[in-house]
Structure 1
């Protein structure tokens, strides 16, 4: 059984892969569409590619005529990857905000200044001891305020940072937080599982298997296997026939 900790680590470890994938050329994949849908997607992609190349050629000709356009052209981005990153980051940061609001204690307050004009020290030794104590308490308060284990509502609010902070809470790591309740652990688990599933689907790094609703002519069910960068393969559980991209074998 995949744990919440594994899901959170998946987000932290593969976030840089999403950044790289967002600028890479699109790789056609269609797990979940069925074999017919997959083949139709290939035909549609060929048509789209021809249309894209036609428009791209026209665009490049227009740039050649424009002396202002100099330097390297930007790499086309993959919008579905960017959408995945935005959705995952928003969910994890919102979850960390909510969990921190309930489990993270407030920073230690610094000691108030003493008005010596109103309450003067009786001796210099008493004043020195009070000053040293106030300095120590001020240092402790500052250290608690800037503790890197403390979740912050401004500044560094990224998906991998939120995932690692939530992971520390799940694993009960030391920090300025109380122990999570069962409901809080369940909330983190739900968000983490959704984030990991989105990332794995976007990067195509998880093996998947589904059974189509339609049956084969022999009456057998059709299982489709895919994921992990492989094209989908269909298999009839009745007669044993196999379909793959460009191949049909008995």
Structure 2
């Protein structure tokens, strides 16, 4: 049985965990800066494994141009958490903007302006009543809260929940996602959740390091940890085990 969470569930989890990221932003009890070498390895293992390159490259370019990246900040913050929040939020907003332009139906157009007049007959009265209904219908359609608005309400939580609705094909002024759009959204959702879980130390992962980081014996090093467990590394060749404190067993 497939227990892999759906894209909609992953996006809902991001929205649920976002307040925890805000709490962790000012937490300096977990990691010093810069973090120990082994935690660098753990962070590197999670990076870009499931990302959608288009979304995250666009997010990074936007952050590079942002004036918020310059100058000093009034209070100390966790740079690792801050950077994760900035990149994930930018990627979610960029994905929502792109999908909205593609799948969101344009609002209904109200009738053209007309000179005010007094309805003298029943027929004229019906015409004006129909016109008033069309104006009100267009107003309601344009302000439908299910629509993604590109100029206000732009938060990571709202973007995640709106994208979750698109992944689940919930009713609204939208067409269903195409297969290509579903795959794109699935990559963004998985990559974003992986980043959030990694920075909150919720992910239970095990990965082999690349050939650039072999053991002294030449063997492959496997790193595992997360989900509250202290990260450790083990050489699959000689069997030596490291933790953040150093060699545990040789």
TM-score by length of structure 1 reads: 0.72
Q: Are 1:220 and 1:237, in contact at CA under 8 Å, matched by a contact in 2?
A: yes
> Which residue in the other structure is 1:25 paired with?
28
Instruction: Give ranges in structure 2 of 5+ residues lacking alignment.
Output: 43-73
User: 1: CA distance between counterparts of 2:123 and 2:216?
Assistant: 92
Question: Where do 1:164-183 residues align within 5 Å?
Answer: 164-183=161-180
Would the alpha carbon gap of residues 184 and 33 (structure 1) be closer, same or farther in structure 2, given more than 3 Å must change? Answer: closer
SS in structure 1 at match of 2:130: helix
Report the equivalent of 2:226: 227
Q: 1:89 to 1:115 in 2, by over 3 A?
A: same
State the SS of the aligned residue for 2:170. Answer: coil
Give per-residue Cα distances to partners, 1:3-43, cap 9 Å, x unaligned.
32232122111111111100111413634638xxxxxxxxx
Give CA-to-partner distance per residue, 1:91-149, whole Å, 9 cap, x none. 111111111111111111122344467xx86x421232222212222221111111000
Q: Which runs of 5+ in 1 are unaligned?
A: 35-73
Distance between the aligned counterparts of 2:194 and 2:242, measured in 1? 27
Superposed CA offset, 1:52-95 (max 9, x none): xxxxxxxxxxxxxxxxxxxxxx7521122111111111111111
Q: Give the number of aligned pairs.
A: 207
Q: How does 1:1-250 map to 2 (within 5 A)?
A: 1-28=4-31, 30-31=38-39, 33=41, 76-115=76-115, 123-212=120-209, 214-215=214-215, 222-235=221-234, 237=236, 242-244=241-243, 246=245, 248-249=248-249
Structure-2 separation of matches of 1:233 and 1:20: 26
Q: Is the Cα contact below 8 Å between 1:4 and 1:193 reproduced in 2? A: yes
Tell me the distance in 2 between the aligned counterparts of 1:239 and 1:113. 82
Q: Deviations over 1:132-171 (max 9, x none)?
A: 2122222211111110000101110111111111111111
Residues 216, 222 of structure 1: 8 Å contact kept: no
In the alignment, the residues of structure 2 paired with residue 33 and residue 109 of structure 1 have an alpha-carbon distance, to the nearest angstrom, of 55
Q: Over the residues paired in the alignment, what is the CA RMSD in angstroms?
A: 2.7
Give the structure with higher Rg (CA).
1
Structure-2-length-normalised TM-score: 0.72
2 CA distance for matches of 1:33 and 1:103? 39
Shift of 1:211: 2.9
